[in-house]
Amino acid sequence: MKVLIETYGCQMNTADSELIQGILRTDGFETAHTLEEADILILNTCAVREKAEARIMGRLTNFVPLKKQNPNLLIGVVGCMAKHLGHDIVKKIPYVDFVVGPDNYRRLPAILRSIGKNAEIQTAFDRTELYAGCTPHRPRGVTAWVTIQRGCNYVCAYCIVPYVRGVERNIPAENILAEVRELAQQGCSVVTLLGQTVNSYVDKEVDFPELLRRIAAIDGIEQIRFTSPHPLGFSDELIEVIASEPKVAKFVHLPLQSASDAQLRAMRRNYTYEDYCTIVQKLRTACPQIAISTDIIVGFCGETEDDYQCTKQALLDHRFAFAFLFAYSQRSLSIAARTLPDDVPNDIKQKRLAEIIAIQQTISKEVYAQCVGKRLPVIVEGFSRRHPEQAVGNTPDFKTTLFTGGDAQPGDWVEIEIERATSQTLKGKLIRILKKGNAPQVENPIDVGISLGPTENPPN
Ligand code: SAH
Ligand code: SF4
Ligand code: F3S
């Protein structure tokens, strides 16, 4: 039986889709590459904003003709929306055959083999589930997602994630190191460590800075990225490792959410705007070439015009390389949904959002334009899907760079002269190969675009 997975939401879900493929393939299932050849269709879903769920519900209704054509086709919903809505999904869309939460993927092979007339719903939390012994099925290539942490122990008032992903659980450091060593042996040289608050990672004596140091010591690993850290507990030691360890990306995605202390308090973020600025300043002092990006929510409960102006000013002051910008969307289960009125009118939320999107777009353009004329190191990750003659890679500060010329291969470090820039990418020509890599032929071309942050809302 062939399985196709469509993935929504953040990188945790992308990594989980690879995990699910791994679990199913170990059990004899195969991978489908098109809807038509699939016997089993799985939507790995996101619940973070109402729009994300609405989009998935819409997608599910598209499958009516497919199901009519092939009555044996199994359709399932897994991931965060599966945990959030459970039975309600089947009530709304009766031809959904299974609904499986983020802690229940090991059961998928058994569930798929035993589905009868009634939909199978399995969404219970299992705080012991770390998927030890399950090998994700990854596309062969230079980059890999590596989950180091599941769940979240923070309770930001707006956020549904802790209620759909459960409490924080850290993967044992030795398992992570073994996984990265194996990836390096297969020719993967760029890893992105994933967790909801990666800097709270701890396993016995190994905290997050130590984990970075140990991964950096692995031969074959050239670049380590991570997402997302939380401003709380962003220690001087972490700043020191980012600044001093050449293999650690000179890039930090550091969600601010709001620059108003009243809003930060209402959001239960546990830091002040000043705390945030101190981290940014320390990062920029210790590591002048660092690029910083962020997440912002406008229109959260009680946000006044003054609160909003603080956030707008913060974007102007920090000049983030890019930012994921959102209008607040009330989520059931969250603290805000239970205790705070969603009192900013939608037209004001949308007006504020549109304004900061325009501001950030200009800033990103300027930040990227500053690279024009420079020669920058780039690690090659593959070839553009739309323009296969162009190679794609990233600078150490995570600026996606397209270039032509030469015979650079994935895994190589190259020097690129930057000729043009948009608000999301750099374009240039190859000057020379700095260091040959030993990557295998990549399996998948790359969709050019920034791939850190919730993919549902592309950066501006
Ligand atoms: N764990 C990550 C965030 C995961 S969710 C962190 O704390 O950094 C990704 C982003 O979605 C958040 O940073 C926030 O900006 C946004 N978000 C989360 N819940 C939201 C909601 N209810 N409405 C609008 N945006 C939300
Ligand atoms: Fe956890 Fe807060 Fe991030 Fe939500 S926004 S996942 S609660 S740290
Ligand atoms: Fe889940 Fe990530 Fe969305 S943790 S709710 S898929 S942003």
**DSSP string for residues in 130-182:** --TTPPP---SSSEEEEE-EES-----TT--HHHHH-S-EEPPHHHHHHHHHH
- Name the pLDDT band for 455 (thresholds 50, 70, 90): very low
- Name the pLDDT band for 454 (thresholds 50, 70, 90): very low
At residue 44, does pLDDT exceed 80? yes
Q: Check residue 356 and give its pLDDT.
A: 98
Dihedral of the alpha carbons of 128, 134, 137, 140, in degrees to the nearest 10: 110
Q: Which atom of ligand 2 is the closest one to the Cα of 160?
A: 4
- With a CB cutoff of 8 Å and minimum separation 6, the contacts of 259 are 273, 276, 310, 311, 313, 314
At residue 458, does pLDDT exceed 60? no
- What is the pTM for the complete model shown? 0.96
Spatial separation of the C-alpha atoms in residues 102 and 83, rounded to whole Å: 7
What is the DSSP-derived secondary structure letter of residue 200? G
Q: Check residue 147 and give its pLDDT.
A: 98
- Stretch 303-312: mean pLDDT, rounded? 98
Q: Check residue 116 and give its pLDDT.
A: 85
Write the residue with the smallest CA distance to atom 3 of ligand 3.
46
Tell me if residue 327 falls in helix, strand or coil.
strand
- Name the pLDDT band for 406 (thresholds 50, 70, 90): confident
Amino acid letter, 356: I
Residue from 148, 159, 163 whose mutation best tests the ligand 1 pocket (most atoms within 8 A of CB):
159
> CA of 63: how far to CAs of 35, 67, 108, 168, in Å?
10, 6, 21, 35
Q: From start to end of 273-353, where are the E strands? A: 291-298, 323-327
Å from CA of 227 to ligand 2 middle: 12
- Name the pLDDT band for 441 (thresholds 50, 70, 90): low
At residue 450, does pLDDT exceed 60? no
- Stretch 410-415: mean pLDDT, rounded? 96
Pocket of ligand 3 (CB under 6 A): 9-10, 12-13, 46-48, 80, 161, 164-165, 454
- With a CB cutoff of 8 Å and minimum separation 6, the contacts of 244 are none
- Name the pLDDT band for 260 (thresholds 50, 70, 90): very high
Mean pLDDT of the chain: 94
Å from CA of 149 to ligand 1 middle: 17
- With a CB cutoff of 8 Å and minimum separation 6, the contacts of 331 are 47, 48, 49, 50, 158, 159, 160, 337
Q: Check residue 445 and give its pLDDT.
A: 67
- Per cent of the chain over pLDDT 90 is 89
Amino acid letter, 10: C
Relative orientation angle of helices 173-185 and 208-216, to the nearest 10 degrees = 30
Contact 9, 457 (CB under 8 A): no
For residue 216, which of 241, 179, 197, 182 has the smallest C-alpha distance?
Answer: 241
Å from CA of 405 to ligand 3 middle: 39
Residue from 165, 197, 232, 294 whose mutation best tests the ligand 2 pocket (most atoms within 8 A of CB):
197
Å from CA of 156 to ligand 1 middle: 9
Q: Check residue 453 and give its pLDDT.
A: 43
Decide the pairing of beta strands 375-383 and 391-394: antiparallel
Q: Check residue 60 and give its pLDDT.
A: 95
Å from CA of 50 to ligand 3 middle: 12
Write the residue with the smallest CA distance to atom 8 of ligand 2.
154
Q: Which atom of ligand 1 is the closest one to the Cα of 159?
A: 19
Residue from 8, 20, 49, 80 whose mutation best tests the ligand 3 pocket (most atoms within 8 A of CB):
80
Spatial separation of the C-alpha atoms in residues 376 and 392, rounded to whole Å: 13
- Name the pLDDT band for 457 (thresholds 50, 70, 90): very low
- Name the pLDDT band for 64 (thresholds 50, 70, 90): confident
Å from CA of 401 to ligand 1 middle: 27
Q: Which atom of ligand 2 is the closest one to the Cα of 152?
A: 1
Amino acid letter, 47: A
Residue from 7, 8, 19, 46 whose mutation best tests the ligand 3 pocket (most atoms within 8 A of CB):
46
- For residue 21, count CB atoms less than 10 angstroms from its CB and return exposed for 0-12, middle for 13-18, buried for 19 or more: buried
pLDDT tens, residue by residue, 183-214 = 999 999 999 999 999 999 999 999 999 999 99
Q: Check residue 459 and give its pLDDT.
A: 33
